[in-house]
Structure 1
C-alpha cells in the first residue's frame, strides 16, 4: 500500500517554483500564464459577494465565489476560481488536496494585491495526501510600469503656466482581458470585442419612473457578454456601436447577469454608463465570430428552450406576416424552411427587424447564432432578438454544405422533426442495448436532470384518452397551428389567412404498461397515424358518419404491444416539477425478429 502511494505521488509531481513566479512574474508574460502548471489545492472556501447592479430597476444580489489556496510543494498562495468552474466544487469534483493541471489562468490586481484567477483546469487526482511542506508567500502590490526617478526642479514660470487637461479616449495602460475573466472584483481592465448583435431601443417603466435602453452582445475568442446602455447613454452610444465592428471597451460596470432577460452564456453582464470608455479598433487581429453548430438531426437531443447555433441551407422563404403577440402588440414574423446534409428539415422563424430586413434568396447558406429550440408540433427553431445570422459565411463548414447542396443535396427527400422516427418503421430498429423496464425508468429518475434522457422499452397500450384526441390545424405546410371557425372559413392567426377547411391532427395521450409498472406517454400526429391506421381527417370523417365504428377503431388500438423509444424531460406544472415522457419512435412488434432476439440471448454467455 505504501509503495502504491509513493508511485502515485511521484506521478503527481507538482511544478515546483511556479507559485514564486506567479507571485512576482510579469502579468503580460504569456509563457508564464500559459505554462499549464500542476498544483495542489490545500483548501477551498466559499466567498459570498454582494453585487449592486446599479441600473434602473436592478436590485442587490449575491454570487458565490470560491477562494483556493494553491501549492507547488514549496510555497502556497491565494487564488480564485472563475465562476464558470463553480460546478467543480458544487459537484464535489475538486476538494481539499486535489491535484490538477491549470490549463488556463490569468492575473488580476484587487485592492493593491495580485490574485491568480483559475479559468480552466484538469483534475489528475481527487484525494491525495498533502505534498511537501509549503510555506506562504508575501504578495506585494502591483509594480508600476517604470519606477519614478528624482523629481526635476520646476521653474516658477512653468509652475505658473496653466496645464492643459489631457484625457485620452482609452487608457491603453490597462491590460486586455478576455471576456471570460471579467468579474465585479477588478476595475482596471480593457476588452477587445466584436459587436455581434445590437437590439432596438426599448422603453421600460418601473417604480423609479420611465426610461430607455438598448443592449449589445459582445464577443471575443473566450466567450460572450451582454452590455446594456441606459437612458442618456442611449443617445451617446446607439449610433457609435455598430454590428460586426470591433471596439476597445473599458470602465463599464460588471454586474451579475439577469438570466431572465438574457440568453448570453455568461454569469455577468456590462452596464454601459457615463464612465464607460469605448474606442473603435482597426487592428488586423480582431476577434471573429465563433459558432458551436448543432446539425438539424441533433436537435432531437436538445432540451426544450435550449439555445444553439445552426448552419443550414434555406429551402423556402415564407411571406412577411404581422401577428398579435401575447402583450397585445403587433410584430412581424417570417418563416423559413431550412435543411442540412443530415437530410432533416426544420421551420426557423425570424421576428421583428430580422424578419423585415431578411432579403436572402432560397438556396443561401446561412449561419444562425442564438436560435431557440421549441417542441410545439415537433421541433422548430426561432431566432432570438439577441441572435445573429451570417449569409454565406467564409468558413469551411459553409463551403462544404454549399458543395453538398449543389452536388445533389437539393434533390434530397428531407425528413421533418414532426415525422422523424414516429411512423412505423421510420428511423430503423429499436436499440436493444438501451431497453429498460418501466420500473427501471422510474427508479433511475430519468428526465429529472437539466437535459432530457432517452430510453427504449417494450410495453402494451392499456388506455388511450379519446377526449380531444385531435384538433383542427392550419393546412399550410410547416404551420400546424390551431385554427378557429369564423364566418369566412377556418382562420389561422399565424398565417393571417382563412382556409376552406382544416387539417385534423392527432394529440395522443395514452397509458402503457409492462410486467413491472405503468406510465403515461404523449405523442403527436404520426403516432395517431400508426395507432389507428388512418389520418386525423379520416377518423374525424368517420366519427361524423359512424361514431360507433370510430369508437371501435380507437378501442381496438388498446391491448397492443409496441417497441418504443421515448424522451423523458422535466416540465413545471402548477409550480411543481414533473417528468413528461414523449414518444420519439413507435414500432409494432415483428415476432420473427423478437423470437430471434430471444434465441440469441439464450446462446449468449448470460444464459450459460
Structure 2
C-alpha cells in the first residue's frame, strides 16, 4: 500500500516543533558506545537526520520490532546540539509499518547536495547545489569553480512558518529565521546579562546528558544513609536518594562531601522537590536498581526546593510486583518488587560478617495467590523495626500484607529474596494490590497449601535449611569438604554435661564488640585478659555447652555457645554458674538442666571437619535451637507432601 511520510518532518522537528508527531522511516541503525545506545538515521522521504533513541527503547531493536525500513511515528522527542550538529533524541515512538522499501532518495538534512531547497532570509528559496552547478556551467577554462550561495551563513536554523502557503513555498514547510540582532540600545554596551529565567520542568524519562538547563519535579521515595569511602582520590562521604515523578519516571540522585552537608537534612522521604542544575552520568547498575540508564549528581550550583504537594499527582511509591511463581525462574541477583501475606516470622539472630562486624538477620515467609511461597531474609536494623512489628502482628493471630520494594533474588538452595541497603518494606500498604491480596487471603486463601520456591524451607527455622536426620550426618560424610555443611535436624537433647558448661570470658569492648576471650585469675580477686592486656575485677560467663542430641535414627554430640545455650536452658550462663558455685543450690540447678532434656528442637547445625592434634574430627556446632512449633511443623509437612505428590 502507498506510504505517506510526513512532508518536511525533519526540518520541522529540528525547527522546534515538538507536537508534530511525524511519520518517518528508519533508513539506518547503528549500535554506538559502551552504554548500549542506538543511533538511527530517519527520513521524511527527502531529508534524513541522525537520531539518538532513549535506552528504554533498546528492546524494540533487540526484538526486531523496529528495523531498517520500518515506518515509525515519533510520539515524544526533543532536539538538541551534540558536537556542533543538531540531533533528534527520541523518547518514545510507535512502529506503524515493520518492513518497507526505502522511500524516495533522502539526503542528509542541510547538506549542500540535498534536494531540500535552502531558504533565503527574505523567505524565498534558492536552487540546490547540484542544480546550480549544472545550470551555471561549473567547468570554466578547465578549472572547477565552487559555486557561491548567498545563504551560506553560520547557525541558520529552519523554523516553522505558520503563514507560509503553497503559492509562496510549494511543498516546503520550513523557512529560515535570520540570526538574532540585538536592539540598538544594547550595542557596544558590554555583555548581555545571563538568562536567569527558571528552567523548564521536564519529565524524568526525558532527561539526557545532551540537554542544557532543566528542572524536574518529583517525590523522594527512598533516602540512603551517609557512607564513607576511600579511593585513589582520597577519603570522602556520599549519600543518595530516589525520585519519582507524576509520569512514573524514576531516577537516583547522588551527593558527595560538601554537597551532602548542604542537602542531607533537607531531603525527606515522601516530600516533593523541584531540582535543577545537576549533571547526568550513566547509572551504576551494580548499585542502582532503578529503570533508568542515568543518574543525577548534584554539585555546588544545584538547587533543591521544597514544593507543595497540592494536587497529589505524584504517587507515593512506584511498584512493579512480580508473582512469587515468577521469582522461581528469575535471574539470580536481579532486583524485584514482591508482595505477599506473611505466614511465618523467625526471631532475629546475630550474624558475624566477614569483616568481623556483627549484624542481625531475620527470616520471613510470604505466600500469594500463585500457589507459591518464598523466603524473605531481613538484614540489619530492619530486623528490629519492621521485623519485630511483623512478628508481633503474626503472634496476635493476624497475618499482615508485606510489600517489598527492591528485594534481591538469591538462588542458593532454591530461590529466596533478601533485603539490601535500598530495600523498602511496607506493612499493609494502602494500594490496590494489597487490598486484592487481603480479600483473597480472607476469602479462603489462608487455607490453601502453597509450595515453597525456597528449597527445603523450614517454617520457624532459618535460611535455606536442608532437613537431615542424625544418621545422615555420618552416612553422607557431611562436613568433610572444604566448606562447612549447614543442615537442620529435628531432635531432642538426651544429655548435657554439667561439669564444664561455661567459661570465664573478657567483658571488655573492642570497638562495638565484646572481647569474649577466656580470662584467667590475676591475684585473689582480679582477672587478666591476655588479648586486651588488661586486668578487671569481674569477668563474664559464656556457655560452652556439650550436649547429646538424638532422633529416631541415632545420636551424636554437639557444642552450643552463648546465645544457643540460652535458647536451650532458658537462662544465662552467669545465672547458672552463680546458682551452682556461689549459691550451691544443686536442686534448682538440676531442675533447670532436666527441664531442657527430651524437649524437641529444630537444630540448625554447622558441620565441619577440624584438626585435633594429629587427628581429623568432625565438629558439630548448634548455631540455632528453636523449640518445635506444631503449627509451623504442620505447614512444613503439608508443603513436603505437596512437593512430592506433584
Residue correspondence of structure 1 range 268-417 to structure 2 within 5 A? 268-283=294-309, 284-288=311-315, 289-358=317-386, 359-360=389-390, 361-362=393-394, 363-417=399-453
1:18 aligns with 2:54: no
Instruction: Tell me how far 1:385 sits from its aligned partner.
Output: 1.4
* Distance change in 2, residues 1:153/1:387 (3 Å): same
Instruction: Tell me how far 1:93 sits from its aligned partner.
Output: 6.0
1:243 aligns with 2:269: yes
| 1:184 corresponds to | 209
| 2:24 corresponds to | 39
* Counterpart Cα distance in 2 of 1:40 and 1:26: 18
Higher radius of gyration, 1 or 2? 2
* Counterpart Cα distance in 2 of 1:409 and 1:494: 37
Instruction: Tell me how far 1:280 sits from its aligned partner.
Output: 1.7
Is this contact kept in 1: 2:69–2:99, CA < 8 A?
A: yes
Instruction: Tell me how far 1:294 sits from its aligned partner.
Output: 0.9
Matching residue within 45, 57, 79 for 2:51: 79
* Counterpart Cα distance in 2 of 1:487 and 1:200: 43
* Counterpart Cα distance in 2 of 1:217 and 1:344: 31
Matching residue within 135, 152, 157 for 1:140: 157
| 2:238 corresponds to | 213
* Counterpart Cα distance in 1 of 2:436 and 2:107: 56
* Counterpart Cα distance in 1 of 2:280 and 2:380: 29
5+ residue gaps, structure 1: 1-6, 49-61, 160-164, 422-464, 478-484, 507-583, 589-608
| 2:148 corresponds to | none
* Counterpart Cα distance in 1 of 2:560 and 2:63: 52
Higher mean displacement: 72-81 or 230-239: 72-81
Is this contact kept in 2: 1:370–1:386, CA < 8 A?
A: yes
* Distance change in 2, residues 1:335/1:213 (3 Å): same
TM-score normalised by the chain length of structure 1 = 0.59
| 2:227 corresponds to | 202
Is this contact kept in 2: 1:492–1:498, CA < 8 A?
A: no
* Distance change in 2, residues 1:224/1:492 (3 Å): farther
Residue correspondence of structure 1 range 532-551 to structure 2 within 5 A? none
* Counterpart Cα distance in 2 of 1:272 and 1:261: 18
* Counterpart Cα distance in 2 of 1:206 and 1:13: 57
* Distance change in 2, residues 1:383/1:419 (3 Å): closer
Where 2:260 maps in the other structure, the secondary structure is helix
* Counterpart Cα distance in 1 of 2:73 and 2:236: 48
Is this contact kept in 1: 2:375–2:454, CA < 8 A?
A: no
Give deviations 1:179-215, integer Å, cap 9, x for gaps: 2332322231212222211111111112222111111
* Distance change in 2, residues 1:472/1:309 (3 Å): closer
* Counterpart Cα distance in 1 of 2:186 and 2:11: 40
* Counterpart Cα distance in 2 of 1:191 and 1:494: 51
* Counterpart Cα distance in 1 of 2:374 and 2:36: 40
Instruction: Tell me how far 1:298 sits from its aligned partner.
Output: 2.1
* Counterpart Cα distance in 2 of 1:121 and 1:153: 44
* Distance change in 2, residues 1:120/1:191 (3 Å): same
Is this contact kept in 1: 2:275–2:302, CA < 8 A?
A: yes
| 2:102 corresponds to | 130
Where 2:422 maps in the other structure, the secondary structure is strand
The structure with higher relative contact order (CA 8 Å, sep 6+) is 1
* Distance change in 2, residues 1:476/1:110 (3 Å): farther
Is this contact kept in 1: 2:12–2:159, CA < 8 A?
A: no
| 2:200 corresponds to | 175
Residue correspondence of structure 1 range 44-193 to structure 2 within 5 A? 44-48=29-33, 63=35, 65-86=37-58, 88-89=60-61, 94-108=66-80, 110=82, 115-123=87-95, 128-134=100-106, 136-138=108-110, 140=157, 150=183, 172=198, 174-193=199-218
Instruction: Tell me how far 1:370 sits from its aligned partner.
Output: 0.5
* Distance change in 2, residues 1:587/1:223 (3 Å): same
1:258 aligns with 2:284: yes
Where 2:320 maps in the other structure, the secondary structure is coil
Where 1:102 maps in the other structure, the secondary structure is strand
* Distance change in 2, residues 1:197/1:353 (3 Å): farther
Where 1:402 maps in the other structure, the secondary structure is helix
Give deviations 1:454-482, integer Å, cap 9, x for gaps: xxxxxxxxxxx9665995524599xxxxx
Where 1:184 maps in the other structure, the secondary structure is coil
Where 1:301 maps in the other structure, the secondary structure is coil
Give deviations 1:506-534, integer Å, cap 9, x for gaps: 9xxxxxxxxxxxxxxxxxxxxxxxxxxxx
Instruction: Tell me how far 1:47 sits from its aligned partner.
Output: 4.4
Is this contact kept in 1: 2:16–2:79, CA < 8 A?
A: no
* Distance change in 2, residues 1:345/1:104 (3 Å): same
Give deviations 1:49-72, integer Å, cap 9, x for gaps: xxxxxxxxxxxxx54533322112
* Aligned-pair Cα RMSD in Å: 4.2
* Distance change in 2, residues 1:129/1:331 (3 Å): same
Where 2:347 maps in the other structure, the secondary structure is coil
Residue correspondence of structure 1 range 455-534 to structure 2 within 5 A? 468=478, 471-474=485-488, 487=546, 489=558, 502=603
* Distance change in 2, residues 1:231/1:183 (3 Å): same
5+ residue gaps, structure 2: 111-155, 161-176, 458-474, 492-543, 548-557, 569-600, 608-641
Is this contact kept in 1: 2:407–2:420, CA < 8 A?
A: yes
Is this contact kept in 2: 1:491–1:497, CA < 8 A?
A: no
Higher mean displacement: 383-392 or 96-105: 96-105
* Counterpart Cα distance in 2 of 1:15 and 1:197: 44
Give deviations 1:530-583, integer Å, cap 9, x for gaps: xxxxxxxxxxxxxxxxxxxxxxxxxxxxxxxxxxxxxxxxxxxxxxxxxxxxxx
Instruction: Tell me how far 1:131 sits from its aligned partner.
Output: 0.6
| 1:517 corresponds to | none
Is this contact kept in 2: 1:15–1:39, CA < 8 A?
A: yes
Is this contact kept in 2: 1:40–1:71, CA < 8 A?
A: yes
* Counterpart Cα distance in 2 of 1:21 and 1:149: 26
